[in-house]
A and B are shown apart, each in its own frame.
Chain A
Amino acid sequence: MSSSHSFEKWIGWLIIAFLCLLPLLRWAQITDISVQLSSWYGVASTIGKLGALIGTMLYALNFVLAMRSRWLEPLFGGLNKVYIAHHITGGLALILLCIHPVFLAIRYIEIGSSASYSAAADVLLPDPIRSGSISQFTESMSINFGIIGFLGLVVLMICTFFIKFSYQTWLLTHKLLGLSFLISGLHIVYVWSDVRNDLPLRLYIVFWIGIGLAAFVHRSLMSNIFVRRYRYAVSRVSSPVDGVITIGFEPLRKRLSFKAGQFVFVRFVSGNLKGETHPFSLTGKQGDHHKELEISVKALGDYTRRLQNVQFGDHALIEGAFGRFIPARYPGKKQIWIAGGIGITPFIASAKAFSSNSATKVTLFYSANSATEMIQTDLFQSLTMSDQRFNFESFIAGAENGFLTAGYILKRTQSFEDTVFFICGPSIMMSAMKKQLLASGVEKKNIISEEFSIS
Chain B
Amino acid sequence: MKIKRAVLITLITTLLATLTVFLVAILSRNVAEEAMTNITIGQTTSSLEAKKFINEISVENNDEQSQNEQSLGCGVVGGKCSMAEIAKRNNKAECWVIYRGEYYDVTSYIKDHKGGTAVFNDSTCGKDIQVYLEGDASTVGRQNQHGTGAYKDLEKLKVGTVEN
Contact = CB atoms under 8 A, between A and B. Distances in A.
The interface size bin for chain A is 35 or more
B55 to A, nearest CB: 7
Interface string A135-146: 110011011000
Interface stretch (B39-47, B72-80, B89-97, B152-160): B89-97
Given A114-B32, A143-B118, A91 B94 contact: no
A403 interface: no
A112 interface: yes
Nearest to A105: B21
Interface in B33-64: 54-55, 57-62
A64 interface: no
Interface stretch (A189-197, A245-253, A380-388, A404-412): A189-197
Contacts of B6: 91, 95
A152 to B, nearest CB: 14
Contacts of A124: 18, 21-22
B145 to A, nearest CB: 10
SS class, residues of chain B in contact with chain A: helix
Interface string B13-27: 110011001101110
A92 B17 CA distance: 19
Contacts of B141: 196-197
A95 B110 CA distance: 30
B28 interface: yes
A94 to B, nearest CB: 6
A111 B25 contact: no
A113 B24 contact: no
B118 A115 contact: no
B82 interface: no
A213 B10 CA distance: 26
A115 B110 CA distance: 11
Contacts of A158: 11
A67 B1 CA distance: 23
Residue in A95, A132, A154 with the greatest tally of chain B CB atoms within 10 Å:
A95
A232 interface: no
A98 B10 contact: yes
Nearest to A91: B3
B25 A139 contact: no
A298 interface: no
B114 interface: yes
Contact of A127 (B3, B8, B118): B118
Interface string B105-119: 001001000111111
Contact of A139 (B1, B17, B119): B119
B100 interface: no
B91 A196 contact: no
Interface of A: 41-42, 45, 87-88, 91-92, 94-95, 98-99, 102, 105-108, 111-122, 124, 127, 130, 132, 135-136, 139-140, 142-143, 154, 157-158, 161-162, 191-193, 196-199
Given A94-B11, A114-B25, A197-B141, 4 more contacts: A87-B1, A91-B3, A108-B93, A112-B62
Q: Which 3 A-B pairs have the closest CB atoms?
A: A113-B58, A116-B93, A139-B116
